[in-house]
């Protein structure tokens, strides 16, 4: 069985030739890695979302824990009283519930942003990670009127505050993917010298391609090794070119220790790498422990969507209404035949590259203008209605006269008319 096959789909796997494995050179993550869920920080920076209530944030945090996510970013405590209070409450929840998930909070490289994080740590006893960020690219330097010495000085001062408080620091160079190597080298060396435990490579403008990701991660790994450090490497990507997901996977393959993502990819502008799709692909590639239960992944995304006022597109992978739904006759016939063999893994595999059952969903067959008798018969049997010839024909006549998929109420109306 190849690395992409789930243990509950052995029969279907025997019937699938996997071209993904033919010339695959390496695993996605050749060494131990972790995921950082940025939904409660980066996700809330999207201009179209609402800030959830603290109770909703706590529910989201518990779902992160249930999914086995290693890290949660809980916001920017310096951005206002509510942000501070919510971050404090979330840390208290982690302590009270004895969660395994670790917590980070973000701030600019200025003392007034770092000290609130230190205060939360002191009040809760939780060893928060301080994520200190500052721009590093030439365009950002020009706009801000900064030079490298100024950036390095501010970075060192902020890192020192956190390190003196006994907190780990993830040093984030904003717009890393458009920064010059000599600048990154100077800033990374300064951060390491002052005790930063991680360096975060940030594709702030969504500029990077997979080639750029590999080059940048490789450059950073070589720099860290050259100074004899064990400093970790993070990847934080945006989706402006539609490459955030694939870039996150390439970052892991290139040697990043952690990658960041958000629920449904919600974040600044067009968003970030969707963490549920990172998890999905890692599971299908055999990179996640099989003991990790991802059946709450859909619930997690739906909970976040409700909390922030987000509409999940119908065609969104895994979570969207249509992810495992068809109204096409040929597709429905194949799925129905697979189910008749008594093996849902066959139904999951015959017209889908993602096993619905693995993530707590199932195949759905509806009736529309492109449907055939298989659609109607399946729909009726699913509702314990005998698919007689006259009833199937009557429903199909209505379906073929429309330009869309029928609602359940419309199909039931035909059933009631035919059956009296």
Residue 13 lies in a domain: no
Phi, psi of 135 (to 5 degrees): -70, 145
Q: Are 381 and 406 in contact (CB under 8 A)?
A: no
Helix or strand holding residue 174 (H, E): strand 169-174
Q: How does pLDDT run along the chain (420 residues), one tens digit per residue?
A: 344 444 445 666 788 888 888 887 666 766 789 999 999 999 999 999 999 999 999 999 999 999 999 999 999 999 999 999 999 999 999 999 999 999 999 999 999 999 999 999 999 999 999 999 999 999 999 999 999 999 999 999 999 999 999 999 999 999 999 999 999 999 999 999 999 999 999 999 999 999 999 999 999 999 999 999 999 999 999 999 999 999 999 999 999 999 999 999 999 999 999 999 999 999 998 888 767 889 999 999 999 999 999 999 999 999 999 999 999 989 989 998 988 888 788 888 989 999 999 999 999 999 999 999 999 999 999 999 999 999 999 999 999 999 999 999 999 999 999 987
Same domain? 226 vs 353: no
How far is Cα 172 from Cα 158, in angstroms, rounded to an integer? 12
Residue 167 lies in a domain: yes
Q: Are 84 and 51 in contact (CB under 8 A)?
A: no
Same domain? 266 vs 239: yes
Q: Are 282 and 67 in contact (CB under 8 A)?
A: no
Q: Which residue has the tokens 């968003």?
A: 271
Same domain? 71 vs 122: yes
How far is Cα 405 from Cα 334, in angstroms, rounded to an integer? 19
pLDDT for 19 equals 85
Q: Identify the sign of the CA torsion 161, 164, 168, 171.
A: positive
Token pair in block for residue 340 = 């008749």
Same domain? 200 vs 349: no
DSSP 359: G
Q: Identify the sign of the CA torsion 104, 107, 110, 112.
A: negative
pLDDT for 414 equals 97
Domain count, the chain: 2
Q: Are 70 and 35 in contact (CB under 8 A)?
A: yes
Same domain? 335 vs 297: no
Domain boundary (308, 340, 361) is at 308
Q: Identify the sign of the CA torsion 181, 186, 191, 193.
A: positive
pLDDT for 345 equals 86
How far is Cα 374 from Cα 391, in angstroms, rounded to an integer? 13
Q: Which residue has the tokens 């100024």?
A: 150
Residue 314 lies in a domain: no
Same domain? 299 vs 337: no
pTM above 0.85, yes or no: yes
Phi-psi domain of 122 (left: phi exceeds 0; alpha: psi -120 through 50; beta: other)? alpha
Domain boundary (254, 280, 308) is at 308
Q: What is the CATH number of the domain that holds 186?
A: 3.20.20.70
Q: Are 304 and 263 in contact (CB under 8 A)?
A: yes
Residue 315 lies in a domain: no
- Domain with 279, as residue range(s), is 18-308
Residue 278 lies in a domain: yes
Domain boundary (308, 333, 364) is at 308
Q: Which residue has the tokens 């706009």?
A: 143
Phi, psi of 132 (to 5 degrees): -100, 125
Residue 8 lies in a domain: no
Same domain? 295 vs 332: no
Same domain? 78 vs 116: yes
The b/e string for 179-202 (b: 16+ C-beta within 10 A; e otherwise) is: beeebbebbbbbbbebbbbbbbbb
Cβ contacts of 80 within 8 Å, gap of 6 or more = none
Residue 5 lies in a domain: no
């Amino acid at each position: 069985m190849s690395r992409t096959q789930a243990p509950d789909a052995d029969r279907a796997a025997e019937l699938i030739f996997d071209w993904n494995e033919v010339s695959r050179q390496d695993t996605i993550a050749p060494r131990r890695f972790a995921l950082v869920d940025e939904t409660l920080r980066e996700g809330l920076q999207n201009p179209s979302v609402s800030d959830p209530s603290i109770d909703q944030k706590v529910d989201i945090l518990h779902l992160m824990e249930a999914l086995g996510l290693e890290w949660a970013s809980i916001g920017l405590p310096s951005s206002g009283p509510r942000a501070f209070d919510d971050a404090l409450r979330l840390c208290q929840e982690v302590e009270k519930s004895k969660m395994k998930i670790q917590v980070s909070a973000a701030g600019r490289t200025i003392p007034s942003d770092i000290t609130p994080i230190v205060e939360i740590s002191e009040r809760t006893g939780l060893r928060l990670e301080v994520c200190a960020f500052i721009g590093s690219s030439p365009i950002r330097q020009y706009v801000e009127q900064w030079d490298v010495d100024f950036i390095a000085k501010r970075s060192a001062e902020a890192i020192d505050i956190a390190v003196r408080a006994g907190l780990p620091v993830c040093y984030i160079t904003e717009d890393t993917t458009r920064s010059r190597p000599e600048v990154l080298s100077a800033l990374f060396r300064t951060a390491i010298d002052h005790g930063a435990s991680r360096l975060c490579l940030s594709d702030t403008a969504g500029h990077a391609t997979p080639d750029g990701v590999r080059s940048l991660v490789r450059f950073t790994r070589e720099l860290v090794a050259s100074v004899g450090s064990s400093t970790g490497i993070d990847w934080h990507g945006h989706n402006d070119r539609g490459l955030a997901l694939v870039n996150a996977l390439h970052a892991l393959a290139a040697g990043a220790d952690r990658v960041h993502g958000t629920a449904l990819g919600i974040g600044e502008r067009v968003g970030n790498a969707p963490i549920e799709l990172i998890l999905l692909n890692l599971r299908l590639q055999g990179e996640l422990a099989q003991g990790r239960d991802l059946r709450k992944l859909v619930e997690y995304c739906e909970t976040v969507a409700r909390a922030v006022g987000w509409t999940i597109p119908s065609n969104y992978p895994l979570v969207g209404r249509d992810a495992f739904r068809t109204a096409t006759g040929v597709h429905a016939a194949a799925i129905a035949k697979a189910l008749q063999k008594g093996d849902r893994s066959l139904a999951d595999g015959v017209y889908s590259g993602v096993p619905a059952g693995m993530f707590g969903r199932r195949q759905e067959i509806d009736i529309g203008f492109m449907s055939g008798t298989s659609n109607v018969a399946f729909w009726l049997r699913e509702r314990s209605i005998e698919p007689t010839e006259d009833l199937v024909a009557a429903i199909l006549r209505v379906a073929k006269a429309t330009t869309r998929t029928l609602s359940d109420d419309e199909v039931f109306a035909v059933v009631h008319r035919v059956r009296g």
